[in-house]
Structure 1
Amino acid sequence: MKQDKAVFFKQSKALPFVEMRQASRSNACYQGHTHDEFSFGVIDTGIADYNNLNQHNRIGQGDTVTINPGDIHSCNPTVGDWSYRMLFVDTGWVGELQAEISGIDSIDYSPFTNRYLRSQQAYGHFDLLFTNLLLESNALSAEALLIEYMQQHWLTKDLEKSAPTHIHRVKEMIADQLDVNHSLTDLAQESGLSRFHLLRTFKQTYGLSPHAFQLDERIKSAKTLLKSGYSIIDTSIALGFADQSHLQRNFKKRLAVTPKQYQSFFV
């Protein structure tokens, strides 16, 4: 896997619940992975293959992608380099905004229904928002732009609630015990399904096998620990990785930077 020639991560000072990523002239490729946050971004140059669950698109300059929390996805350049910008927005903030708009206080959050846009208007609005966040303008201006942008992506279909309850229990069990190396038998007992039906149903529901989901959750938690100052070895131990190299190898597969490189942006 090749590394981005110019990439940065940055947490917005105006809106701490927003993280930014920008890659310029990147040729890095990513395995399928997920994020805890809502994420959306634009392609500035180049052409890429965008896969999100069962949707496959060839995207290019000016196109926008939207990714729900937990959606297995990948986006890789077809030939040569590409440049892109992404925003990662906390799900709690999105849920509160949706509650305000809908007038329903009980909702958690609802996912994007449209995961891909070809719109110069959307691209221009994103460019204005990203620039505002990058320059660390005042919170009032930044949040107003973010709310206006989010309203263009009103979310109605709740995929998480459609998941079978027994499969949801397995997902929660894995997510709550990331340091535990569960056996397939243990997970099958939790779900009340056979091992075969557990594997098939889990992947149909979440787009990943239970093991791949666990690994993806561990990487996301590793990002949080590294940003808070944990050492790489302590992070690997806390999250149940076999060793430090196991964390490093899988971290780079998903983010195209090593844990040390990622940590250097924040600590």
Structure 2
Amino acid sequence: MKQEERTVHFDVTLQIEAYRFVGIMQKFPNHFHEYYVIGFIESGQRRLSCKNKEYEIGTGDLIFFNPYDNHACESINHETLDYRCLNIKPEVMRKVTKEITGQDYLPSFVSPVSYRSEHANLLHNLHQMVMDEISDLEKEETFYFLIQQLIEEYAVAKEDTQIVTKHEIEKVCRFLETHYAEDIGLEDLATVANMNKYSLLRSFTRYLGITPYRYLQTVRINEAKDRLEQGMKPLDVAMETGFIDQSHFSHFFKEFIGLTPGQYRDIFIHKSTSSS
């Protein structure tokens, strides 16, 4: 069995994150991100669930997650996973999309999987340049050419495919995003939505493909990432984002992100030190 490796780099020029997971067996629970994820499988097989649809993915496949696409994955036949991905914040994607197309919109990738994609090699090259901390013209050119090709082949304007959820569920989401640091109960959410508890659970999960608790935990993790990027101590972050204690926080952070809070924080401390 390969030794497990987890590596992350933040590219200051492109303003994107590059992840590489090697020899991973970890099962990732149903969750979402506030940013785009564009990844590919170097080796291994996984069973992927995205927006309540099932996929089997393997070597050479491209993966696309739009912001807030709920997804989960697990190993098939206990195979280890070699995986690379780029994380792109919506504001960065919007800027690049406007520069490429001349139109101001967020692209929406129609399917989460492109099997044996011909674009995997270009993504691999860009990812390696970020990992090697290359800071030349070729990296920026590759980034723009890659996004152009992916948008043209796999995406549509988000406004064309956006599903309008029920007003009550949107109110619950806004409540969770505002009060994530508090002790929130199902009764609180039912009151916000003006539903009984079961109706809320059923409706929320139906529209978003994720339970209110998972949504809350994901919001907390995303808030924690922002604080860790600023160099805050994991214990302080745990207290500010609604986790019971640091152990509870560390467990969920690694489950969702694949790194410990300390490992994630060190990435940005290293970047800050290198740029000073």
One fold, TM greater than 0.5?
A: yes
Q: Report the residue type matching 1:54 in the other structure.
A: N
- Counterparts of 1:256 and 1:144 in 2: how far apart (Å)? 28
CA deviation map 1:51-95 (0-9, x unaligned): 112111111110011111112212332223120101111112223
Give 1:239's aligned amino acid.
T
- Aligned match of 1:125 in 122, 127, 139? 122
CA contact (8 A) 1:178 1:217 kept: yes
Gaps of 5+ in 1: none
CA contact (8 A) 2:32 2:68 kept: yes
Structure 1 residue 231: Cα displacement: 0.7
Q: State the match for 1:88 in structure 2.
A: 87
CA contact (8 A) 1:252 1:259 kept: yes
Q: Distance in 2 between matches of 1:211 and 1:246?
A: 15
- Is contact 2:14–2:140 with CA below 8 Å preserved after alignment? no
Aligned residues: 262
| Aligned amino acid, residue 141 of structure 2 | S
Q: Is the 8 A contact 1:15 1:142 kept in 2?
A: no
User: Aligned-pair distance for 1:42?
Assistant: 0.4
Specify the alignment match of 2:273 in structure 1.
Answer: none
Tell me the percent identity.
23
The answer to whether the Cα contact below 8 Å between 1:126 and 1:149 also exists between their aligned partners in 2 is no
Query: SS at 1:196's partner residue?
Result: helix
Equivalent AA in structure 2 for residue 19 of structure 1: E
| In structure 2, C-alpha distance between the alignment counterparts of 1:257 and 1:143, rounded to whole Å | 25
Name the CA distance, whole Å, in 2 between partners of 1:136 and 1:101: 21
Which residue in 1 is equivalent to 2:34?
36
> Which letter maps to 2:203?
T
CA separation of 1:70/1:169 partners in 2, compared to 1, >3 Å: closer, same or farther? same
The answer to whether the 8 Å contact 2:243/2:249 transfers is yes
Residue of structure 1 in register with 2:240 after alignment: 238
| 257-266 vs 60-69, which moves further | 257-266
The reply to whether residue 111 of structure 1 matches residue 108 of structure 2 is yes
Secondary structure at 2:111 match in 1: coil
Paired residue type of 2:85: M
What is the TM-score normalised by the length of structure 2? 0.85
Deviation at 1:155, TM superposition (A): 2.4
Structure 2 residue identity aligned to 1:262: Y
Specify the alignment match of 2:58 in structure 1. Answer: 60
Residue 148 of structure 1 aligns with an amino acid whose one-letter code is Q
Task: Please say if 1:256 is aligned against 2:255.
Answer: no
